[in-house]
């Protein structure tokens, strides 16, 4: 009889991440990444992801066995990918802005354009607030290299028609007293179908463009209204989750400060003691002591 497979890996991927979990994961990832950049921890080592998992568990107040490393790696990649798409749109609007547009105006236009471009609302506003000052996520410094290229409209062409061709297609041949020769008659027969075909093609293109444009406008308006209503309905839930997250963050910060103030300095290396002393001074200064 075969041994049943564990469902831990499947369950950790099947359960959707909440907003609180997303924010906790992003903050843990930023903390460890900044520690690596500042030289506090080695860039390569098996303990970095272990520390991310520990920070995530503390910040989210969840079960340490609920999420595994594979699930977190996939989730952080998804969040950062969608944030980069949003930042690219912000950068495009920022560079092409007209007049005195506020940051709020730019963000609102970016949300609408994101819905139109990706057919869904941007779901990581809270995570973006954590990442927006990190490298690669400041839209005011976005140079456009990673921006998604604008979609070309089907049917547009950069070629310019030859005026002589237009003249031949529109103007009738001048009358002559001489009867048309066989060669001239053949040219005349060739011009008439071309003129008819051109007019027919222009009429079809114009009708199709008008129909497609009206259909896209109506669909975009319905889609935008749908996501606006959905965003309003979810705002209360997000506020509650944000308030709970802030409360847990404050509790975790106070717990961390208490641990730093009561750490046993005799067990630390000279570099560790120096770092702890600096943090203790910062904590005392923060509380006005």
What's the whole-number mean pLDDT along residues 168-190?
46
Q: Beta-carbon neighbour count of residue 115 at 10 Å? A: 19
Alpha-carbon dihedral 112, 117, 119, 125, rounded to 10 degrees: -50
pTM above 0.75, yes or no: no
- Give the long-range contacts of residues 208-217, CB within 8 A, separation 24 or more: 209/155
The answer to whether position 24 is within a domain reads no
Q: Look at 76 and 97; give whichever has higher pLDDT.
A: 76
Structural domains of the chain, count: 1
What's the whole-number mean pLDDT along residues 116-121?
90
What's the whole-number mean pLDDT along residues 20-39?
87
The answer to whether position 217 is within a domain reads no
Query: Which residue bears the tokens 């669909």?
Result: 219
pLDDT of 112 higher than 80: yes
Q: Look at 98 and 75; give whichever has higher pLDDT.
A: 75
Cβ(129)–Cβ(23) under 8 Å?
A: no
The answer to whether position 264 is within a domain reads yes
**CA contacts within 13 A on the Cβ side of 277:** 9
User: How large a percentage of the chain has pLDDT more than 90?
Assistant: 6
Q: Look at 61 and 112; give whichever has higher pLDDT.
A: 112
Identify the helix (H) or strand (E) that includes residue 238. Answer: helix 182-261
What confidence score (pLDDT) does residue 78 get? 93
The answer to whether position 247 is within a domain reads yes
pLDDT of 48 higher than 80: yes
The answer to whether position 196 is within a domain reads no
Token pair of 279 as six digits: 């943090």
The answer to whether position 286 is within a domain reads yes
CA distances to 50, 59, 283 from 56, in Å:
10, 5, 23
**CA gap 92, 151 in Å, rounded:** 14
| pLDDT, averaged across the chain | 73
The answer to whether position 271 is within a domain reads yes
CB neighbour burial string for 125-136, b if at least 16 within 10 angstroms, e if fewer: ebbbebbeeeee
What confidence score (pLDDT) does residue 211 get? 63
pLDDT of 228 higher than 60: yes
Token pair of 194 as six digits: 């071309």
What confidence score (pLDDT) does residue 241 get? 81
The answer to whether position 252 is within a domain reads yes
What's the count of helices (H) and strands (E) in the chain, helices before strands?
9, 0
Grade residue 25 by pLDDT with cuts at 50, 70 and 90: very high
- For 244, the domain range is 235-289
Secondary structure (3-state) at 114: helix
pLDDT of 39 higher than 50: yes
Q: Beta-carbon neighbour count of residue 176 at 10 Å? A: 8
pLDDT one-digit tens code per residue, 187-215: 444 555 556 666 666 665 566 666 666 66
């Amino acid at each position: 009889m075969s041994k049943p497979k564990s469902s831990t890996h499947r369950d950790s991927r099947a359960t959707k991440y909440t907003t609180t979990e997303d924010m906790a994961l992003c903050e843990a990832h930023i903390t460890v990444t900044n520690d690596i950049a500042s030289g506090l921890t080695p860039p390569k080592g098996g303990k970095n992801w272990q520390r991310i998992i520990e920070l995530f568990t503390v910040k989210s107040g969840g079960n340490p066995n609920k999420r595994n490393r594979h699930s977190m790696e996939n989730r952080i990649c998804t969040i950062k990918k969608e944030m980069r798409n949003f930042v690219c749109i912000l950068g495009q609007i920022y560079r092409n802005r007209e007049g005195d547009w506020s940051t709020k105006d730019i963000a609102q236009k970016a949300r609408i354009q994101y819905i139109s471009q990706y057919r869904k609302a941007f779901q990581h506003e809270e995570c973006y607030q954590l990442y927006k000052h990190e490298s690669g996520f400041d839209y005011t410094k976005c140079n456009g290299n990673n921006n998604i290229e604008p979609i070309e409209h089907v049917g547009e062409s950069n070629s310019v028609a030859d005026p002589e061709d237009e003249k031949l297609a529109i103007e009738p041949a001048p009358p002559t007293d001489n009867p048309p020769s066989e060669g001239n008659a053949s040219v005349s027969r060739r011009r008439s179908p071309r003129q008819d075909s051109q007019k027919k093609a222009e009429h079809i293109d114009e009708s199709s463009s008008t129909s497609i444009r009206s259909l896209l406008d109506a669909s975009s308006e319905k889609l935008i209204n749908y996501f606006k209503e959905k965003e309003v309905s979810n705002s209360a839930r997000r506020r509650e989750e944000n308030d709970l997250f802030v409360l847990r963050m404050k509790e975790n910060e106070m717990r961390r400060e208490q641990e730093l103030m009561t750490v046993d300095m005799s067990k630390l290396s000279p570099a560790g003691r120096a770092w702890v002393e600096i943090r203790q001074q910062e904590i005392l200064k923060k509380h006005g002591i």
